[in-house]
Amino acid sequence: MADTSIEKALLARIAQGEACVGTVGLGYVGLPLALEFCEGGLRVLGFDLTASKVEAVNEGRSYILDVLPERLARNVAQGRLQATTDLDRTSECDAVIICVPTPLSKTKDPDLSMVVDATRAVGRRLKAGQLVVLESTTYPGTTEELLLPILEETGLKVGESFFLAFSPERVDPGNARYGTRNTPKIIGGITPACRRMAQALYARAVDTVIPVSSPRAAEMVKLLENTFRSVNIGLVNEVALMCDRLGVDVWEVIDAAATKPFGFMAFYPGPGLGGHCIPIDPLYLSWKLKTLNYRARFIELAGEVNSEMPEYVCRRVADALNERERSVKGSHILVLGVSYKRDVDDVRESPALDILRILEKRGALVGYNDPGVPRLELDGVVLSSRDLHPAVAEADLVVIVTDHSSYDYPAIVEAARVVVDTRNATKGISSPKILKI
């Protein structure tokens, strides 16, 4: 028999603004989410094992591009937000949200070690009446099959003496229009009581909360969103390869197709996939389906096409140099932009890293410029961002990998000997120096 008094007590603490929320992980997901809960009237304890992050938060110094320092400092000064490395303090929290990374292993299998470690840490301090939410992207079934058994080792019963839900993060770094608060939040609880708890909690931080029937459904929502993007990017990348063979401008084709007011959504080719989500999330789904004797063919094919794009870019670089009677070997090549997308400082899974490796392996003298990435570690070697204008003028070829809005593209084309443009950043600039993918 469920103890409704526990549920009512937690709902009351949330409604009255007395609840304390713990966010385990203070990265691109956890820190912005923590601030939204603070500004929703709740107190937040942020947990991270990286001492430098904890120190920065407590001093009001932001290390996340989308988190304004003054906003962070204000909430810290008001006593709404405090960071710590001490996971024992999760026992002080009414709700604990796990926002840790879920990378792939070297064999491309899901690596949930950080999720397991965080769950075990929370489980050791779990108390009656607590809500635990997983936000880390993972395969369908993780919340029920992995987290629930760990938390029930305490003897507490889900939906009665504690509550468990999954709510996928939907962070888009650098997006000026949609942030944590105005992006609808999906909630899937183990039981109806778990769902009600999570809905009530997130309503303090997010404008729109959308419940689904289970954590498994919520987990699948996240994977569908990014698989949709991966497959469509794979399709348009293959169209780019086709257009190259046909002698057609793929960018012109896409722009013309996008004039259709129904039945078409524009995706654009590029040098490959980057970031934590799109290159990785579909592989979580593919891996899970393999355990059920099902082959996710669309996902695998899109992954093959997308993963081949850095090689294609390097072939275009070789073509551009060959037209000028130069080889890749010995040429000075400048990569513009190494973050995985425009106007962010995140290099996770960036295709620029593969392009740098391939060109260096082929004997090129490579350098890079990125306004948000002053230093870059590549296979144990630390590179520094070069001064833009001298580097462009000195390079035998400039390859635009990430189309940062701060770049003056007309000036870059004017100063460069030849430009390979992987993002259509030079759209509207007419010059024989430009070669696009």
Give the pLDDT of the chain (437 residues) as one tens digit per residue.
456 889 999 999 999 999 999 999 999 999 999 999 999 999 999 999 999 999 999 999 999 988 999 999 999 999 999 999 999 999 999 999 999 999 888 777 889 999 999 999 999 999 999 999 999 999 999 999 999 999 999 999 999 999 999 999 999 988 889 999 999 999 999 999 999 999 999 999 999 999 999 999 999 999 999 999 999 999 999 999 999 999 999 999 999 999 999 999 999 999 999 887 888 889 899 999 999 999 999 999 999 999 999 999 999 999 999 999 999 999 999 999 999 999 999 999 999 999 999 999 999 999 999 999 999 999 999 999 999 999 999 999 999 999 999 999 999 999 999 999 999 999 999 999 999 98
| CA distances in angstroms from 366 to 149, 191, 361, 378, 393, listed in the order given | 50, 55, 10, 12, 14
Provide the residue ranges of all domains of the chain, joining segments of one domain with +: 4-213, 230-436
Residue 3 and residue 162: Cα distance in Å, rounded? 10
Closest CA to 102 of 222, 233, 206, 211: 222
CATH number for the domain whose boundaries are 230-436: 3.40.50.720
Active site residue 194: no
Residue 170 and residue 25: Cα distance in Å, rounded? 15
Residue that has been written with the tokens 């292993």 in this structure: 105
143's enclosing H/E stretch is none
Q: Nearest-5° angle of CA 63, CA 66, CA 72?
A: 60
Q: What predicted TM-score, i.e. pTM, was given to this entire model?
A: 0.92
230-436 and 4-213 share a CATH fold = yes
Superfamily of domain 4-213: NAD(P)-binding Rossmann-like Domain (3.40.50.720)
Q: Residue 259 corresponds to which tokens in the numbers above?
A: 């004039």
Amino acid at 286: S
Closest CA to 170 of 271, 272, 295, 277: 277
Q: At what angle do helices 309-322 and 351-361 cross, to 10 degrees?
A: 50
Q: Do 22 and 93 form a contact (C-beta atoms < 8 A)?
A: yes
Neighbouring residues of 1: CB distance < 8 A, sequence distance ≥ 6: none
Q: Do 134 and 188 form a contact (C-beta atoms < 8 A)?
A: no
Query: Which stretches of 151-283 are assigned E, i.e. beta strand?
Result: 163-166, 185-189, 209-212
Residue 204 and residue 202: Cα distance in Å, rounded? 5
Active site residue: 20, 38, 194, 277, which one? Answer: 277
135's enclosing H/E stretch is none
Q: At what angle do helices 297-307 and 215-246 cross, to 10 degrees?
A: 50
Q: Do 67 and 3 form a contact (C-beta atoms < 8 A)?
A: no
Residue 392 and residue 332: Cα distance in Å, rounded? 10
